[in-house]
Amino acid sequence: MGLLTFAINVTLDGCVDHQEGIADDETHAFFTRLMDESGAMLWGRVTYEMMESSWPAVARGDEEAPPAIREWAVKLETKPKYVVSSTRKDFPWANSHHIAGDLRMGVQKLKDATPAGVLLGSGKLATELDRLDLIDEYKFLVHPRLAGHGPTLYQSGLPATRRLELVSAKPLRCGAVATHYRRAR
pLDDT digits (tens, 9 = 90+) for 7-27: 999 999 999 998 999 988 899
Tens of pLDDT, residues 31-71: 999 999 999 999 999 999 999 999 999 999 999 998 888 88
- Name the pairing type of β-strands 164-171 and 177-183: antiparallel
pLDDT given for residue 139 in this prediction:
98
Average pLDDT over residues 127-155: 96
pLDDT given for residue 69 in this prediction:
87
pLDDT given for residue 1 in this prediction:
83
pLDDT given for residue 71 in this prediction:
87
Question: What is the edge-to-edge ordering of all strands in the sheet holding 118-120?
Answer: 96-99, 81-84, 40-44, 118-120, 4-11, 137-143, 177-183, 164-171
Alpha carbon 3 to chain centroid, angstroms = 13
pLDDT given for residue 100 in this prediction:
92
Q: Which amino acid is at 96?
A: S
For residue 172, what are the contacts with CB-CB under 8 A and spacing of at least 6? 26, 27, 30, 141, 178
Average pLDDT over residues 165-173: 98
From 64-78, 132-146, 158-172, the region with the lowest mean pLDDT: 64-78
pLDDT given for residue 68 in this prediction:
82
pLDDT given for residue 38 in this prediction:
97
Q: Which helix (H) or strand (E) holds 30?
A: helix 25-37
**CA–CA distances in Å: residue 95 to residues 35, 55, 137:** 14, 13, 25
Tens of pLDDT, residues 78-136: 999 999 999 999 999 999 999 999 999 999 999 999 999 999 999 999 999 999 999 99
Instruction: Kindly tell me the burial class for residue 149, based on how many C-beta atoms sit within 10 Å of its own C-beta (0-12, 13-18, 19 or more).
Output: exposed
Name the pTM for this structure. Answer: 0.94
3-state secondary structure of 81: strand
What percentage of residues in the chain have a pLDDT greater than 70?
100
